[in-house]
Chain A
Amino acid sequence: MTMLGRTAQNLFWLSRYVERAENMARLLEVGYRMSLTSRREGGASEHLVSMMQAAEVDEAFASKDRVADVDTVANFMMFDPDNYSSVYSCLLAARTNARSVRTAITSDMWESINSAWLEFSQIKPRDVRGAKLLGLLEWVKDIGHQFRGALLGTILRDDGFAFLQAGNFIERADNTARILDMKYYVLLPRAKMVGGDLDIQQWTLILRAASAHRSYRHVYHDRYKAHNIADFLMLRPEMPRSLIFCAKYIEDNLATLSQFYGQKQSCDEAASQLRSMVDGTDMDTIFSYGLHEFLTEFIARNNRVSDTLSESYNFY
């Protein structure tokens, strides 16, 4: 029985939204921590705004005509239905997609996303202000862990699995690229090789946003250095949120899919163009190309994988 194009699309977006909910929580955590430690006048607000830029929701926030402080931004990122990327919107969209493909996912996957949504929808924004926010953000990350666990543990390894995984890793690649782009300037090589306190603080937060602040030590056995941090999040194949890890995963995954259907598709080519950007290169080459330019191109190519995937497999 061949899968409906819509089913493939629903599966793809189901895991994209679960991943996005988690990433929004990570970004908000970073923005929140940065704003707490900012000593400069207006610095807190700037950090929050640049975090929203990374999530590409800054304009939506600006249209709300509100001052960016911890409460307004947290509320916007977590609970605002007008923000299409808020955790609220992501979980609702994930659940709606899951419900549409109830027969194509396992009951463990369904229960995981359904109970997450039911629980989340009970939370009152005023109850999670201030110190309680971090606890809630941890819980949102757990939703992602739980869903992926149910997925990996129970679903058949067929085309449905490939669509789910494609959604997950395309979203993740996008997110890591955005986190790097948000603070790309603090990662640029400078004459002064030793980072100041402020740099170190920002580097830590970048790593934290990718849950990489501890694993960094395992890989580099060194103090934080801009070059290494960029290398870690972009080019290290063992880092599961790095650009190269995601790009390789996407390429392999789409290859499995085209083998399953017995025909190569344009998205296979798009995926190999994405992978080739981060494969067989090094940070020096990327820095001389321009880090920001590189990341912008990567995000565009990643979008192209998503678009061609939709065309190749008749999403609508």
Chain B
Amino acid sequence: MAENLPFDEMYNPDGSVREPYRALAQWLEEQPDKALTLMQSDAEAIFRKLGITFAVYGSEEGTEKVIPFDVIPRIIAAQEWRRLSKGIEQRVKALNAFLYDIYHRQEILKAGRIPEKLILQNEAFCPEMMGLEPARGIYAHIIGVDIVRVGPDEFYVLEDNLRTPSGVSYMLEDREAMMILAPDLFQRQKVAPVENYPENLRRTLESVAPANASASPNIVVLTPGIYNSAYFEHSFLADQMGATLCEGPDLFVDGGKVYMRTTTGPERVDVIYRRIDDDYLDPLTFNPGSMLGVPGLFDAYRAGNVTLVNAPGTGIADDKAVYTYVPEIIEFYLGEKALLQNVPTYNCTDEEQRNWVLANIGDLVVKEVHGSGGYGMMVGPTSTKAMHAEFRKKIEARPDNYIVQPTLALSTCPTYINAGITPRHVDLRPYVLIGDEVRITPGGLTRVALKKGSLVVNSSQGGGTKDTWVLED
């Protein structure tokens, strides 16, 4: 059946080229044999030079790998992007309003629009945040919204990542590599720049400095350290925006203020872009066993002497169970209809829905509520009967621990594999910065499932990345 064919972003079903891909198609045609093979091997050398290979190391710490890079860019038309970015902006504003409300008067719960239990008994709800006033009222300053496309005008939000979304360094390195590999391709059309992300990140962080900070606030990136799988990104971002890369022991709290230990003594810290989880931030407030955090940090935050980016407790807004309520949330706070659709999601705690899910599990996608990175999930159509049975049992045992969605026919993009161009499924993670204004980097990170037919794009599950182009009019 034709409708079972996934939407291809480059070719129409009749084989003609879609408008945004015209220049690329022509360029591909002009390339001599072997040109792409050469590009692919050059790409590897470039990533080594750019520094990404320093994530590759001996087996004793082999948690990080180089994420494969595909040399064929993914292209989004200007008007497609305008629509997307409007929807994204609406979404992140509503989610921040939701967080402010949840940690203050909880009007949305009082109004009965979201079940109280779902929030107040949720592990991601952070009671310590109640009544706290973050700078500019913003909780989630850095958001990565995972979006999939299933048709020319059909986009779905898969997930809102409000904790510490990663991968932005790949977006930047992919562009850098692409400009080295195919500079002539950039001359044929106007591609919106992504290079100002670090500058925008810095501006965003400065704009949410505490009121009592100096005119040029001291910004640091807080990393769990060199053994963390995203350490490369932490050091990359610190480097790119000229901030100090700190580990927990580099910081201390004195008199309710945060300082870093420098060669010339303590120096006040105003904004912390933290890449460690809530639980590990402050052993005095959260997990007492944490060696990664800074004792007393939360009190300094509460006193308004330092800004944490993102705020603790933002996880309540990207919880997979809360996700289903996002359209509701947008309506409640903004009085608008959601511009971007959610993926229809079945609630397994409802008996009728659960029975339907159990009967049709082979066609569905099952995700653990607190899982991430493609772990703890099952894609029905590509899984074995044994796995179907295993997940049926899991759902029956803990129906609240899973959400279930239909298997979406993710769009495909031409991808260079085994010396040939062939379609592979992709998703998109645009990066959003929220401070004095909302800044959305045009494009974002495209992840591509390199295995034929696979719908799982996570790098931990064999996914790669592509440079993502938003065309300018």
Contact = CB atoms under 8 A, between A and B. Distances in A.
Interface of A: 1-6, 8, 96, 99-100, 102-103, 107, 110, 114, 117-118, 121, 159, 261, 263, 313-314, 316
B245 A8 contact: no
A110 B247 contact: no
Interface string B33-66: 0000000000000000101001001100000000
Nearest to A261: B264
Interface in B226-268: 226, 231, 235, 238-239, 242, 244-247, 249-250, 260-265, 267
B337 to A, nearest CB: 45
A3 B245 contact: no
A110 B265 CA distance: 28
A96 B58 CA distance: 12
A316 B250 CA distance: 9
A114 B249 CA distance: 25
A288 B21 CA distance: 86
A2 B54 contact: no
A4 B246 contact: yes
A5 B262 contact: yes
Interface of A is mostly: helix
Interface centre among B58, B239, B249 (most CB of A within 10 A): B58
Contacts, number: 63
Contacts of A159: 263
Given A107-B51, A314-B261, 20 more contacts: A3-B262, A3-B263, A4-B263, A5-B250, A5-B262, A5-B263, A6-B247, A6-B249, A6-B250, A96-B226, A99-B226, A100-B225, A102-B235, A102-B245, A103-B239, A110-B54, A118-B57, A159-B263, A314-B263, A314-B265
Nearest to A97: B226
Interface of B: 49, 51, 54, 57-58, 225-226, 231, 235, 238-239, 242, 244-247, 249-250, 260-265, 267
Main secondary structure of the interface of B (DSSP, over half): mixed
Given A99-B226, A102-B54, A114-B54, A2 B250 contact: no
* 10 residue pairs, one from A and one from B, having the closest CB atoms: A2-B262, A313-B263, A103-B239, A102-B235, A99-B226, A5-B261, A8-B263, A3-B263, A103-B235, A4-B250
Contacts of B235: 102-103
26 contacts: A1-B244, A2-B267, A3-B262, A3-B263, A4-B244, A4-B262, A5-B250, A6-B250, A99-B226, A99-B231, A102-B235, A102-B245, A103-B235, A103-B239, A103-B245, A110-B51, A117-B58, A118-B58, A121-B58, A261-B264, A263-B264, A313-B263, A314-B261, A314-B264, A316-B249, A316-B261
Contacts of A110: 51, 54
B238 A103 contact: yes
Contacts of B231: 99
B262 A314 contact: yes
A114 B48 CA distance: 11
Contacts of B51: 102, 107, 110
B385 to A, nearest CB: 43
**A100, A121, A263 — which one has the most chain B CB atoms within 10 A of its CB?**
A100
A235 B267 CA distance: 42
A159 B109 CA distance: 55
A2 B218 CA distance: 10
Instruction: With a 10 A CB-CB cut-off, give which of A102, A107, A261, A313 has the most chain B CB atoms.
Output: A102
B176 to A, nearest CB: 13
Contacts of B261: 4-6, 314, 316
Contacts of B250: 4-6
A44 to B, nearest CB: 34
A2 B263 contact: yes
Contacts of B58: 117-118, 121
A314 B249 CA distance: 13
Nearest to A121: B58
